[in-house]
C-alpha cells in the first residue's frame, strides 16, 4: 500500500494557523465516505511521526485498538520537537525536548503501548537527514515479522518534516517488504473536500471504537506543551480547534 509523493508545503504555507483553516463543520457537512481499512492482516505495527504527538493525533485510536487486540505496536518519533517555539534559546529548546519526550512516554502509556523510540533528529530539518532516517527505519523494520505495517505521516501532508518522514518510511518499506499506510494530520487544515491535491481514491477509513477514541483523547491531553500557551499573551503551538477537527474527521490513511 503506497501513494505517490506529491508535496504540499506551499499549500500549507498559504494557510496560516491563525486563519483557522478548513473548519470541522465543512468536513462534517461534506459527508465523506471511504472504504474501511481491513486491519486483520497487520501482524505488527510501527507508527512513525515527525514530532511527539503526530502518532497520537493522527493514528492513536488505531494504534491503541490494535494493541488491545494483541498486536505489538512500536511508536517511533523522528525528532523531539524542540523547534516548536522558534525564538527559544538553546537551553529552552533542550528543556522543551525533554518535556516532549516525557509527554510522548505518558501518551504511549495511555494508549497501552510500550515505550517509544526517539531518534532525536533535528526538528524542522528532518529533510536534511532523510537518508539517515530511512536507514534507521530499515534497521527497525528489518527486525519485524512478515505482515508488519508501517504507518507514517503522509508524504503530501504540507509540513516539510511530515513529508520527509513519509518519504523515508516509503523508502524503508520498499527495502524491507513491510506494508505502508500514510496518515494525514495537517491536510485537514489546508485542504478542502474534493481537493485535487488529496488522493481520495486511495483513502481508507480506519475502524475504531468509542473506547479507542476516548483513549486517544486522553493521550492527546498529555501534550500540554503544545496545547497550552507557554506564557501569558502567547499563543499555543496547536490552536484550540486543532484536536476537535481531527476527532470530527476520524482517522484515515492513504494506501
- Do 103 and 223 contact (CB within 8 A), yes or no? yes
What's the mean per-residue pLDDT of the chain? Answer: 95
> What integer pLDDT is reported at residue 235 of this predicted model?
85
Range from 1-5, 9-13, 18-22, 224-228 carrying the lowest mean pLDDT: 1-5
- Tens digits of residue pLDDT in 57-102: 999 999 999 999 999 999 999 999 999 988 899 999 999 999 999 9
- Tens digits of residue pLDDT in 128-176: 999 999 999 999 999 999 999 999 999 999 999 999 999 999 999 999 9
d(CA 21, CA 23): 6
Rounded to the nearest 5°, which phi and psi values hold at 181?
A: -130, 140
All cell numbers assigned to 225: 506543551
How much is the CA Rg of the chain, to the nearest whole Å? 17
Q: Is the pLDDT of residue 4 over 50?
A: no
Residue 5 — pLDDT band, cuts 50, 70, 90?
A: low
- Do 151 and 47 contact (CB within 8 A), yes or no? yes
**Which structural domains are found in the chain, ordered by start?**
9-254 (3.40.50.10320)
Residue 212 — pLDDT band, cuts 50, 70, 90?
A: very high
Q: Is the pLDDT of residue 250 over 90?
A: yes
> What integer pLDDT is reported at residue 1 of this predicted model?
45
All cell numbers assigned to 99: 518535556
All cell numbers assigned to 132: 539517515
Q: Is the pLDDT of residue 3 over 50?
A: no
- Do 2 and 169 contact (CB within 8 A), yes or no? no
68: Cβ–Cβ under 8 A, 6 or more apart, which residues?
112, 212
Rounded mean pLDDT of 38-49? 97
Question: pTM of the full predicted structure?
Answer: 0.95
Rounded mean pLDDT of 191-200? 97
- Tens digits of residue pLDDT in 224-247: 999 998 888 788 999 999 999 999
Rounded mean pLDDT of 220-225? 97
Residue 8 DSSP code: -
Amino acid at each position: 500500500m503506497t501513494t505517490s509523493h506529491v508535496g504540499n508545503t506551499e499549500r500549507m504555507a498559504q494557510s496560516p494557523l491563525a486563519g483557522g483553516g478548513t473548519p470541522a463543520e465543512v468536513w462534517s457537512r461534506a459527508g465523506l465516505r471511504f472504504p474501511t481499512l481491513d486491519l486483520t492482516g497487520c501482524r505488527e505495527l510501527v507508527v512513525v511521526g515527525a514530532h511527539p504527538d503526530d502518532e497520537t493525533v493522527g493514528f492513536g485510536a488505531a494504534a491503541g485498538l490494535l494493541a488491545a487486540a494483541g498486536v505489538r505496536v512500536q511508536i517511533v518519533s523522528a525528532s523531539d520537537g524542540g523547534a516548536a517555539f522558534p525564538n527559544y534559546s538553546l537551553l529552552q529548546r533542550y528543556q522543551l525536548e525533554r518535556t516532549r519526550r516525557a509527554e510522548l512516554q505518558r501518551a504511549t502509556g495511555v494508549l497501552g503501548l510500550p515505550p517509544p523510540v526517539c531518534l532525536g533528529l533535528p526538528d524542522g530539518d528532518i529533510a536534511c537527514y532523510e537518508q539517515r532516517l530511512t536507514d534507521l527505519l530499515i534497521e527497525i523494520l528489518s527486525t519485524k515479522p512478515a505482515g508488519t505495517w508501517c504507518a507514517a505521516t503522509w508524504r503530501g501532508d504540507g509540513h516539510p518534516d511530515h513529508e520527509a518522514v513519509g518519504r523515508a518510511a516509503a523508502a524503508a518499506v520498499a527495502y524491507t517488504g513491510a506494508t505502508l499506510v500514510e496518515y494525514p494530520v495537517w491536510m485537514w487544515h489546508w485542504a478542502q473536500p474534493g481537493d485535487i491535491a488529496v488522493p481520495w481514491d486511495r483513502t481508507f477509513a480506519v475502524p475504531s471504537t468509542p473506547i479507542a477514541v476516548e483513549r486517544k483523547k486522553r493521550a492527546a491531553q498529555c501534550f500540554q506543551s503544545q496545547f497550552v500557551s507557554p506564557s501569558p499573551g502567547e499563543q499555543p503551538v496547536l490552536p484550540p480547534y486543532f484536536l476537535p477537527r481531527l476527532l470530527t474527521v476520524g482517522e484515515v490513511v492513504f494506501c
